């Protein structure tokens, strides 16, 4: 591949970065994403610039640099402001959730979910609903949080993502427990029973929700 073929090299480095990230080599992924970004800039391809910079943000997020991740993702959006599939907003919301910036995360997800629905991105939509439930839990809006967690679970189930559905179910139970602790209802005995139920659900197949496609995007020819 010619060094001057910036289009192919941008795509290649983004995809290699994705592979490195999947294997746990996040620093290697960050290096590849930055290289991809350089080729995208040389090409002058705004969408590739946006995708590679968003992926730089993803890698920084994985390395614990949350301010750097948010800065990169905000920069990425300036290069593709017309992108309205909800993916950049979902990626940013995940970082905001991890940072505990609940109000900002809720605003991003409120905008992202209808976009993801219109784009037909069912799995990403379910993930956004899951993260919105977590956000609303952080805001102590328990009925809304429970509703979004249940909706995410149903959409994971409908899409055949059983383990993710279990994660959403555990979140439903966590929301119930948090509300009980906050409001004192139901009883401590019921809280203990629900805690045991949550552990049982987790033992039957729950695993952490993996990083979504929203956080790591590939360029395509």
Range of the domain at 41: 1-83
Residue closest to 215 by CA, chosen among 59, 63, 99: 59
Domain's final residue, options 28, 56, 83: 83
Classify residue 203: in a domain, yes or no: yes
- Whether 92 contacts 108, CB under 8 Å: yes
pLDDT score at 210: 39
Do 201 and 101 share a structural domain? yes
Give pTM, 2 decimals: 0.81
Q: What is the CATH number of the domain that holds 111?
A: 1.25.40
Tell me what the pLDDT averaged over the chain comes to: 88
Classify residue 51: in a domain, yes or no: yes
Classify residue 219: in a domain, yes or no: no
Indicate the range of 82-86, 89-93, 175-179, 182-186 predicted with least confidence: 182-186
CB atoms within 10 A of CB 16: 17
Measure the CA–CA gap between 45 and 16, rounded to whole angstroms. 19
Do 97 and 77 share a structural domain? no
pLDDT score at 191: 66
Do 75 and 100 share a structural domain? no
30 band by pLDDT with thresholds 50, 70 and 90: very high
């Amino acid at each position: 591949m010619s060094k001057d073929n910036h289009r192919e090299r941008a795509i290649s480095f983004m995809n290699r970065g994705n592979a490195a990230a999947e294997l746990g080599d996040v620093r290697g992924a960050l290096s590849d994403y930055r290289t991809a970004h350089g080729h995208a800039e040389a090409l002058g391809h705004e969408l590739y610039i946006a995708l590679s910079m968003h992926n730089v943000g993803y890698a920084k997020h994985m390395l614990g640099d949350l301010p750097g991740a948010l800065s990169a993702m905000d920069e990425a959006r300036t290069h593709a402001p017309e992108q309205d599939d909800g993916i950049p907003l979902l990626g940013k919301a995940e970082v905001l959730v991890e940072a505990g910036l609940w109000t900002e995360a809720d605003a991003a997800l409120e905008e992202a979910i209808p976009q993801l629905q219109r784009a037909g991105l069912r799995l990403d939509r379910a993930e956004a609903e899951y993260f919105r439930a977590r956000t609303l839990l952080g805001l102590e809006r328990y009925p809304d949080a429970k509703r979004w967690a249940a909706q995410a679970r149903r959409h994971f189930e409908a899409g055949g993502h059983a383990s993710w559905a279990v994660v959403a179910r555990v979140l439903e139970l966590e929301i119930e427990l948090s509300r009980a602790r906050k409001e004192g209802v139901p009883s401590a005995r019921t809280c203990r029973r629900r805690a045991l139920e949550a552990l049982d659900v987790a033992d039957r197949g729950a695993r952490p929700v993996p990083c979504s496609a929203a956080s790591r995007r590939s360029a395509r020819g």
